[in-house]
Amino acid sequence: MHEEMRRLIAAFAGDWLGTDAVQSGPAASSNGVGKGRMTVRPALNGHHLLLDYVFDRGADGTFAAHGVLTWDPDVAVHLLFWFDDMGYVPANPAPGLWGPVEGAEEPGAEGYTFIRTSPRGRARHRYWWPVPDHMETAIDRSADGGLTWTPFLKGTYRRQG
């Protein structure tokens, strides 16, 4: 198993519970705070991670997604394949790298940043760990090819068990 995949598994694998908040602004169809749950498991001899995500906003409904995280050694990049209950099929996986996390509240924070591109614009997924077993997440949207980003979703999670 590649060292990058070991790092990905160490960071992500487990059951995570937390709070997500849809940020106000033009990228959000509605605001709101809800409970987030992620289950992340290694698959296929540890070559991939399967991520199942649910954002429950009670009476305002739920949002569910399934992701596959992996490392492509041929091009030295992490990849995120993202499917959600909005029904859009990704044309390509989102490339990502480990490094400084732009916009993180913790100075010098390092983590993963993935950028998805679709006909509807770009989405930047950021994941970082300020302390062990505590994950911060953020999704931003861009309608101008990534020149400017608008916050969409912010989450704080704790690894369970």
Residue 62's pLDDT is 86
Q: Which residues contact 127 (CB under 8 A, 6 or more apart)?
A: 11, 12, 111, 112, 113, 135, 136, 137
Domain membership of residue 75 as a residue range: 3-25+33-159
Token digits of residue 42: 């290694």
Please state the rounded mean pLDDT for residues 15-28.
78
Please state the rounded mean pLDDT for residues 104-124.
87
Specify the number of domains making up the chain.
Answer: 1
Global pTM? 0.88
Pick the residue with more confidence: 87 or 130? 130
- What's the CATH number where 140 sits? 2.40.128.20
- With a cut of 50, say whether residue 28 has pLDDT above it: no
Residue 25's pLDDT is 54
- With a cut of 90, say whether residue 31 has pLDDT above it: no
Residue 148's pLDDT is 93
Q: Which residues contact 86 (CB under 8 A, 6 or more apart)?
A: 63
Residue 119's pLDDT is 81
The region, left, alpha or beta by phi > 0 then psi within -120 to 50, assigned to residue 154 is beta
